Structure 1
């Protein structure tokens, strides 16, 4: 028997939902991300050996875990506003944080209506291969080289 996405999320804490975004949406988001990385930190996704050290400047954690403080660029907001993405998010909220019936998913302000439009903008993750991270941690390439961007 196949588990629902809600059951998978509640049990595993993560779920992959295939085919939510169209290939065009994914392509636009990738292009937007690459432009944002280059504009804000001089990072070229095509040349991380030379420019990947700049990722640390985009992170309040110094690049640890690939977490970057990129919140509101138009390409990211467009993804978050996609109707199919919204359906998945509200479904997951409904089965977890909004329900208020499981301490693991306790929300500071208690249960809430998962179908109401709440802001769920968060940082993003941009992982690089270990060899790129190690190169910049050792001071190679350009940029500060802090962390594992």
Structure 2
């Protein structure tokens, strides 16, 4: 689970970046945080953490996602960022994130909904690349991918 600080929601996302130099509203929209912020009386100025509002696991994951998106990175690394999200929010999140044309997304996930949308999947086994391709290609050619897809993580 990502680490958040006892500070405002905005400061947890910006982490020292000047607000005038970032696309905060776009990051919030991509991370599907707008509905949550609308429910907080103080909005982005809501204190979170031990001295404030306790966020759900999904809210923490999406806050960390917004923190990453607010930076002008060409490579985005997502390590199972939707594990604590409900199905509907997860679907909206991935739909928005995977539409990022100027960025490369490295996604670490075992969720079928995410893997089905990937341009290229790398299957690792014992620290080595076992196979590469789309979900359909790997289902036709990789025993390890089939095991993961149909057995080990049947979700």
**TM-score for both structures, normalised by structure 2:** 0.23
In terms of fraction of residues, the more strand-rich structure is 2
Higher RCO, Cα 8 Å, sep 6+: 1
